[in-house]
Amino acid sequence: MIDIVQRMKVLYDWYSRQEVQYEIIKFTYNREFAVLLPWFFHDNDGKFNDNIRYLRCHNTEHFSYLLTEGIRMFEKNFPYQLYYSLAKYRDGIPKFTMNLSKRNTEDWKNNHYKDMVSYDFLIDIDAKSFDNIYMALETAKEIKKLFDSYSLIYELRFSGRGFHFIIRNDLACQNINYSMDINADNTIYLFYSQFAKFLNIIYSDMVDYRIYDSRRVVKCPYTLANYEDKITLCYPFLSDDEFQCFNLDDADLKYFARNKIKNRGTFLFNYKENLRNDLTFNEGFVKSFRCNNDKLIQIFKYIEDRSMLMSRKTKKEAKI
């Protein structure tokens, strides 16, 4: 296991870099920012009671304050992992006090969905172990082929020990069958879960379909993922070649020299314009949501039919 002093120095050096901070806040604006401890790091009672949700991080000043003075990450020697919400909010997260004993977030927990303007679709391919990382890569490649055959617009990232597809859409705003209301019968969360389950059946059980709820958070690009014997960088792929030629060494901090981070941004596969550094997106992209919605539903119907055929075949073979 990496020594905690050594680990915290790596985290401090990385998050102190201004160009890194600028890349991170591109993803956290008007979303929830959260800090969670890795599973192997806990107090003597084995409790994970030091995770902190519902933070507001809209600029580099917010980011620096939260890490150094707000959550006192480096003072406490807590190797937090940094997350942001799949949900985007009209005005972001309310400003809650950093005095955790006086915090009252119950009203927000119960009513947050009323302020949501979108909820991204995350497809999480988790290797569980670095020994399986290239199996996860092959799964991601197969799913990528499917999405590319429909020209679906998506982001693709290395998550630290797996791969994330992020699909932006406004299905919830266009159709009541994909509601963001947590009390509705048909929700966007249920749709995403069913979609991911079909991918799990067809491609690999590395596709996690049990992660969908209104308050789900995801590792933020350009942050560090902490594991017992390794620290890796979460980052977006900026081209098909970069993804297809992925090597685990690419996620090493030494690979991302100072000039490789500044203005690196993200990339939308199958989108005609390069929006690497404009995560607010322009009017043209907002209009393309409609087309992406249709493609997402078409893919859902295809994988639903295919998974049903596979299930019938499995049952038939079991009888034989």
Domain around 72: 4-319
CA dihedral 6, 63, 156, 89 (to 10 degrees): 150
Which CATH number belongs to the domain containing residue 29 in this structure? 3.90.920.10
Element (H, E) at 251: none
Q: For the whole prediction, is pTM greater than 0.85?
A: yes
CB-CB neighbours of 283 under 10 Å? 7
Tell me the CB-side half-sphere exposure of residue 182, using CA atoms within 13 A.
Answer: 14
What local confidence, expressed as pLDDT, does residue 44 receive?
46
Answer yes or no: are the C-beta atoms of 183 and 47 closer than 8 Å. no
pLDDT of the residue at 49: 64
| Residue 125, C-beta contacts closer than 8 angstroms, at least 6 positions apart | 136, 139, 140, 143, 162, 163, 164, 165, 204, 206, 207, 208
Pick from 234, 229, 211: which is nearest to 81 by CA? 234
Tokens encoding 28: 């956290």
- Rg (the chain; Cα; Å): 20
- Domains held by the chain: number: 1
Supply the DSSP string of 211-226, one letter for each residue.
---TT-EEEPTTSEEE
Which tokens belong to 15?
Answer: 């998050």
Mean pLDDT by 10 residues, the chain (320 residues): 92 95 95 94 60 95 96 94 97 92 93 95 96 97 98 96 94 88 94 97 97 97 95 96 94 79 91 62 58 92 94 62
